Amino acid sequence: MKNIILTGDRPTGKLHIGHYVGSLKGRVELQNSGKFDKSYIMIADAQALTDNFANPEKVRANVTEVALDYLACGIDPQKSTVFVQSHVAELTELTFYYMNLVTLARLERNPTVKAEIKQKGFGASLPMGFLTYPVSQTADITAFKATCVPVGEDQLPMLEQAREIVRSFNGLYGETLVEPKALLPENKSCLRLPGTDGMAKMSKSLGNCIYLSDSADEIKRKVMSMYTDPNHLKVTDPGNTSENPTFIYLDAFSSDEHFQKYLPEYANLAEMKAHYERGGLGDMKVKKFLNAVMQETLEPIRARREELEKDIPAIWEMLKKGSEEAKAVAGETLAEVKKAMKIDYFAE
Ligand code: TRP
């Protein structure tokens, strides 16, 4: 069996550092690892419309932003097929057939969807498109026979749903679809990077994100005003590092080399944490170091992004080509699905 990656993002905003360590960085490593036969990266505009259907301009504008973020981070269109979900109509057709294999009760149990419904305050006016997006996500994954789906932790229920549909389909109609596996980052701090304000999640509406496209000044301002340990009032106070976003970010981003370069009095993060925990290390010093680390990490991404922004038509051209390629692959799977379901009346 082939090793195939498929993953994607909803284009509802520019990507931030949570996306980067949670999934993007890993995708680039996988793309370059040579261990995969194929890698597909999808801009999930149709899924984004399930809760932004009244705001198509926003989705449209962010298709370009997300594509720029991908390429800036090192997604290479020579190695990965980058495409737009709405331009692969086969995915919608697959979704319709998969709908038969999922109950309403099952969809309502999906913890991520449940949390989103609550957060968005849909109440009784919950659009069907939104509730059923995990089924469409199953179509995205299975259309490419993906074996491996690198995503953030919040996407695990979607993968569980996809596996259930695959098993149900194969059981009813014969072995056709491939069961996918999620791939999460090993570094626990990368799983869910908190916001700069200490809230559990980075979210545009909370204004607590550092974006991949932020300027050096914006990054500095955001890092220097980050939430830390509220009980660490004086430098001499013992501090908490495990629930402190500045240290969680350092867990996710810093390396021993960063210490050698910017803060050689500590050999590594463990030493710095121990100092903070016993007292005597001030937040300002931690933030200055974190700022140096973040600047070093984000500067090359921002520089590449600025270059790419100069030729937006080239971005659309790449997406068009990728979408055509994706359409051909999804079409093959759709033909197999129709054959298995005995609706291939006119096939040769
Ligand atoms: N649900 C994902 C998100 O919110 C986007 C997505 C759509 C996706 N289809 C996918 C991710 C298929 C992985 C695989 O970002």
Model confidence at 242, in pLDDT bands (50, 70, 90)? Answer: very high
110 plus 152 within the same structural domain? yes
User: Which of 23, 42, 83 gets mutated to test ligand 1 (max ligand atoms within 8 A of its CB)?
Assistant: 42
Q: How far is the CA of 44 from the centre of ligand 1 (A)?
A: 6
Task: Give tens-digit pLDDT for 141-193.
Answer: 999 999 999 998 889 999 999 999 999 999 999 999 999 999 998 888 888 89
Whether the predicted pLDDT of 28 surpasses 90: yes
Range of the domain at 265: 216-306
With respect to residue 221, please indicate whether it lies within any of the assigned structural domains: yes
DSSP assignment of 11-32, as one string?
-SS--BHHHIIIIIHHHHHHHH
Whether the predicted pLDDT of 248 surpasses 90: yes
51 plus 182 within the same structural domain? yes
With respect to residue 330, please indicate whether it lies within any of the assigned structural domains: yes
Strand partners, 150: 183
Is any atom of ligand 1 closer than 6 Å to the C-beta of 47? yes
Which atom of ligand 1 sits closest to the CA of residue 6? 14
State the pLDDT at residue 153.
86
With respect to residue 205, please indicate whether it lies within any of the assigned structural domains: no
From CA 169, how far away is CA 175, in angstroms rounded?
Answer: 8
With respect to residue 203, please indicate whether it lies within any of the assigned structural domains: no
Task: Give tens-digit pLDDT for 323-340.
Answer: 999 999 999 999 999 999
157 plus 58 within the same structural domain? yes
From CA 311, how far away is CA 27, in angstroms rounded?
Answer: 24
11 plus 77 within the same structural domain? yes
State the pLDDT at residue 124.
86
State the pLDDT at residue 123.
86
Whether the predicted pLDDT of 1 surpasses 90: no
Is any atom of ligand 1 closer than 6 Å to the C-beta of 9? yes
With respect to residue 206, please indicate whether it lies within any of the assigned structural domains: no
227 plus 186 within the same structural domain? no
Report which of 182, 187, 91, 78 is spatially closest to residue 135, judged by C-alpha positions.
Answer: 91
Q: How far is the CA of 134 from the centre of ligand 1 (A)?
A: 9
From CA 308, how far away is CA 311, in angstroms rounded?
Answer: 6
Query: Using CA positions, which residue lies closest to atom 2 of ligand 1?
Result: 9
State the pLDDT at residue 192.
83
289 plus 326 within the same structural domain? no
96 plus 173 within the same structural domain? yes
Task: Give tens-digit pLDDT for 265-315.
Answer: 999 999 999 999 999 999 999 999 999 999 999 999 999 999 999 999 999
The CATH code of the domain that includes 59 is 3.40.50.620
174 plus 53 within the same structural domain? yes
DSSP assignment of 310-340, as one string?
TTHHHHHHHHHHHHHHHHHHHHHHHHHHHHH
Strand partners, 7: 41
Cβ-in-10-Å burial (0-12, 13-18, 19+) of 285 comes to middle
With respect to residue 238, please indicate whether it lies within any of the assigned structural domains: yes
44 plus 136 within the same structural domain? yes
Task: Give tens-digit pLDDT for 70-104.
Answer: 999 999 999 999 999 999 999 999 999 999 999 99
Cβ-in-10-Å burial (0-12, 13-18, 19+) of 112 comes to middle
151 plus 280 within the same structural domain? no
User: Which tokens is 106 given?
Assistant: 């099952």
Q: How far is the CA of 228 from the centre of ligand 1 (A)?
A: 31
With respect to residue 69, please indicate whether it lies within any of the assigned structural domains: yes
**Torsions phi, psi of 82, nearest 5?**
-100, 125
28 CA to centre of own chain: 12
Whether the predicted pLDDT of 348 surpasses 80: no
187 CA to centre of own chain: 15
Return the higher-pLDDT residue of 40 and 185.
Answer: 40
The CATH code of the domain that includes 239 is 1.10.240.10
Report which of 60, 24, 22, 6 is spatially closest to residue 153, judged by C-alpha positions.
Answer: 22
Whether the predicted pLDDT of 200 surpasses 90: no
Model confidence at 204, in pLDDT bands (50, 70, 90)? Answer: confident
181 plus 329 within the same structural domain? yes
95 plus 145 within the same structural domain? yes
State the pLDDT at residue 203.
84
**In the chain, pLDDT over 90 holds for what percent of residues?**
91
From CA 346, how far away is CA 164, in angstroms rounded?
Answer: 30
Tell me how many domains the chain contains. Answer: 2
With respect to residue 21, please indicate whether it lies within any of the assigned structural domains: yes
